[in-house]
Amino acid sequence: MNMRNLVIIGAGGLAREAYDLAYFCYGSDPGFRVKGFLSDGPSDIESLGYPPVLAKVADYNVAPGDVFFCAIGNVYDRKKTVEIILGKGGQFISLIHPTAVISPSAKIGSGVAVKAFCVLSSDVIVEDYTFLQSSVIAGHDVHIGRFCQINSFSFFAGYTRIQDLVTVNAGAKTIQNVVIEEKAVVGMGSVVLNRVKKGTTVFGNPARKFSL
């Protein structure tokens, strides 16, 4: 039997969620195990009953049978660490909870998380290394880019386009055909009616540019 050994990048709360998600996806597969975590900072994850931190990201040597998943919530740090592991020849897998409802016409990239009770409708696209928290709903023809963080109970009406490195916080909503440009942030509970410009943070109902 060829074992697959999952190495989770990150060792914080999102990494523990990824560990649980991997269990729901592959817990009954004797050829799959979580080998451990990679972390560049201190972590007490092993003391909580999880597998050990194996190394810092840049110090880890990819071994035969290793597969990877990045569980870092900051989208910029996620991109940086994924690129390090790809440069070492690492391969990423997606983790899709069995309760997710996904159209046969939807397309999901590599290194994607789809947590419990998500709904991805007809012809939805979710690109590589994006994390969908529980109960995200994407209507038909929604397109979510690479390295995005989409938090729980977000709703995207048909033809919404979310570009790369976007963070959408819990409970946000869009109307049809909205575009959220790369590196934007949408605040919790916001209702997006208009295009969100690159690198902008918006918040509220309706969502407006927000700064401290």
pTM of the prediction? 0.96
Assess whether 133 and 158 both reside in one domain. yes
What sign does the CA torsion over 137, 205, 189, 9 have? positive
Exposed / middle / buried, residue 191 (Cβ in 10 Å: 0-12, 13-18, 19+):
middle
**pLDDT tens sequence across 98-118:** 999 999 999 999 999 999 999
Across the range 115-135, mean pLDDT stands at 98
Q: Is residue 129 part of a domain?
A: yes
Assess whether 106 and 83 both reside in one domain. no
Q: Where a domain ends, among 77, 93, 109? A: 93
In which domain, by residue range, is 33 found?
4-93
Q: Please give the mean pLDDT across all residues of the chain.
A: 97
Assess whether 110 and 170 both reside in one domain. yes
Instruction: Give the per-residue pLDDT at 5.
Output: 97
Percent of the chain at pLDDT above 90? 96
> pLDDT band at 160, cuts 50/70/90?
very high
Instruction: Give the per-residue pLDDT at 1.
Output: 56
The DSSP letter of residue 61 is: P
pLDDT, greater one: 1 or 107? 107
Q: Is residue 206 part of a domain?
A: no
Q: Given the structure tokens 């998943």, which residue do they identify? A: 69
- Report how many domains make up the chain: 2
Look at residue 170 and tell me whether its pLDDT is greater than 80.
yes
Look at residue 212 and tell me whether its pLDDT is greater than 80.
no
Instruction: Give the per-residue pLDDT at 27.
Output: 87
Assess whether 170 and 103 both reside in one domain. yes
> pLDDT band at 181, cuts 50/70/90?
very high
Exposed / middle / buried, residue 170 (Cβ in 10 Å: 0-12, 13-18, 19+):
middle
Assess whether 104 and 82 both reside in one domain. no
**pLDDT tens sequence across 61-96:** 999 999 999 999 999 999 999 999 999 999 999 999
Q: Where a domain ends, among 76, 93, 110? A: 93
* Domain CATH code at residue 171: 2.160.10.10
pLDDT, greater one: 200 or 212? 200
Q: Where a domain ends, among 46, 63, 93? A: 93
Across the range 38-65, mean pLDDT stands at 96
Instruction: Give the angle 23-3-43 at the CA atoms, nearest 5°.
Output: 50
Q: Give every CB contact of residue 101 below 8 A, 6+ residues apart in sequence.
A: 117, 118, 119, 120
Q: What Cα–Cα distance (Å) separates residue 66 from each residue in 54, 89, 109, 153, 155?
A: 12, 10, 19, 32, 34
Instruction: Give the per-residue pLDDT at 210.
Output: 87
Would you state the structure tokens that stand for residue 13, as one six-digit string? Answer: 């709360």
